[in-house]
Amino acid sequence: MADSFGPMRDGDAHGGVVGMGPEAGTSRTEPIRVLVVDDHALFRRGLEIVLAAEEDIQVVGEAGDGAEAVEKAADLLPDIVLMDVRMPRRGGIEACTSIKEVAPSAKIIMLTISDEEADLYDAIKAGATGYLLKEISTDEVATAIRAVADGQSQISPSMASKLLTEFKSMIQRTDERRLVPAPRLTDRELEVLKLVATGMNNRDIAKELFISENTVKNHVRNILEKLQLHSRMEAVVYAMREKILEIR
C-alpha cells in the first residue's frame, strides 16, 4: 500500500514521521475506530479506501467541517479523529477542544497541508496528539494511526524542526514575570519530565532510572495532572519554557 492519493506524495524524502511516547505494538482485540474529517469529499473517500485495506483500522464515520466533527465524535466515540486544520464553518483546531470534551478518550491527528508553525502550536495546545502533512505517503497514515492509538505523539519531520524553533523563541520570550508560581514537582518527577522532553519512551526511561515501567507511567500521569497538561508533547513545551531542558 505504498501508493499515494490526492494531494499526498511519497514521504520517503522527509524521513517518515517523528514519534514520541510509548512504543507502538500494543495488542488489540478490536479495530481502531477512526472518524475522518475533511472538507473535500474526494479526499475523505480516498482515506476511507486506503484505510479499508487495514484489518485493524475501521473508518466509522466522516465529517465535512469542525462543527459536524464534534457532533459525529459525540455520537460515534471514535478512538482516533483524523482531521484537517482549515475547513469552513469551524476549523479543525477550534474543534479539537470541543471533541476532547464530548469524546475524552478520542485522540486527534491533524492531517493537513498547513505547514504554519502557529497552526502546529495551536493544535498541540488544543489537545492534538499528532500533526501530519498531507505530503506523507498513504502507508504512513495507517502507521501513524496505530502509533497514536498506542500512546505515541506523531509529527511530520519538517514540522518537528519548526516546533523546536518555536520552543527556542518561546524561551526567549519568557522574561516577563510569572503571576502564578509553577506547581512543585518532586525531584523524581523532574527527572522523568526531563527524559520525556528528550523524546524517550516509558520503557527507556524505566531503564535509565532503574525503576519499573508502571512507575514511570504513574510519574508521567502525576506530572500531567500537576501541570494541567494533556499530552507528553505539551510536557515538552513546558520543559522548554521552564528551562528544565536546554536546547543548544
Pair type for strands 57-63 and 18-20: unpaired
Residue 58, burial from CB neighbour count under 10 angstroms (0-12, 13-18, 19+): middle
Cβ atoms within 10 A of the Cβ of 66, count?
25
Is residue 33 within 8 A of residue 73, CB to CB? The reply is no
Least confident residue range of 128-132, 165-169, 211-215: 165-169
Least confident residue range of 32-41, 84-93, 159-168: 159-168
- Mean of all residue pLDDT scores within the chain: 80
- Give me the residue label for grid cell 499530552: 231
Backbone φ, ψ for residue 176 (5° rounding): -65, 155
Res 235 pLDDT > 80: no
Name the more confident of 233 and 124. 124
Identity (one letter) of the amino acid at 244?
I
Claim: this prediction has a pTM higher than 0.75: no
Res 122 pLDDT > 70: yes
Residue-level length of the chain:
248
Res 61 pLDDT > 70: yes
* pLDDT > 90 fraction of the chain, expressed in percent and rounded: 38
What pLDDT sits at residue 181? 52
Res 13 pLDDT > 50: no
Identity (one letter) of the amino acid at 189?
E
Please state, in angstroms and rounded to a whole number, the distance separating the CA atoms of residues 75 and 10. Answer: 35
What pLDDT sits at residue 19? 60
- Across the range 10-22, mean pLDDT stands at 49
Residue 119 in grid coordinates: 497552526
The architecture in CATH of the region 170-241 reads Orthogonal Bundle (1.10)
- Give me the residue label for grid cell 527527572: 191
pLDDT digits (tens, 9 = 90+) for 152-190: 888 877 777 766 665 666 555 544 434 445 568 888 998
What pLDDT sits at residue 25? 47
What pLDDT sits at residue 114? 82
Half-sphere exposure of residue 22, counting CA atoms within 13 Å on the CB side?
15
Query: What is the location of CATH 1.10.10.10 in the chain?
Result: 170-241
Query: What is the location of CATH 3.40.50.2300 in the chain?
Result: 12-157
- Across the range 216-223, mean pLDDT stands at 90
Q: Which CATH number fits domain 12-157: 2.60.40.1170, 3.40.50.2300, 1.10.10.10, 3.30.300.30?
A: 3.40.50.2300
Q: Spell out the residues 6+ positions from residue 209 whose beta carbon is closer than 8 angstroms to its own.
A: 188, 191, 192, 195, 216
Please state, in angstroms and rounded to a whole number, the distance separating the CA atoms of residues 189 and 15. Answer: 32
Pair type for strands 153-155 and 18-20: antiparallel
DSSP letters spanning 165-189: HHHHHHHHTTTSPPSSPPPPPPHHH
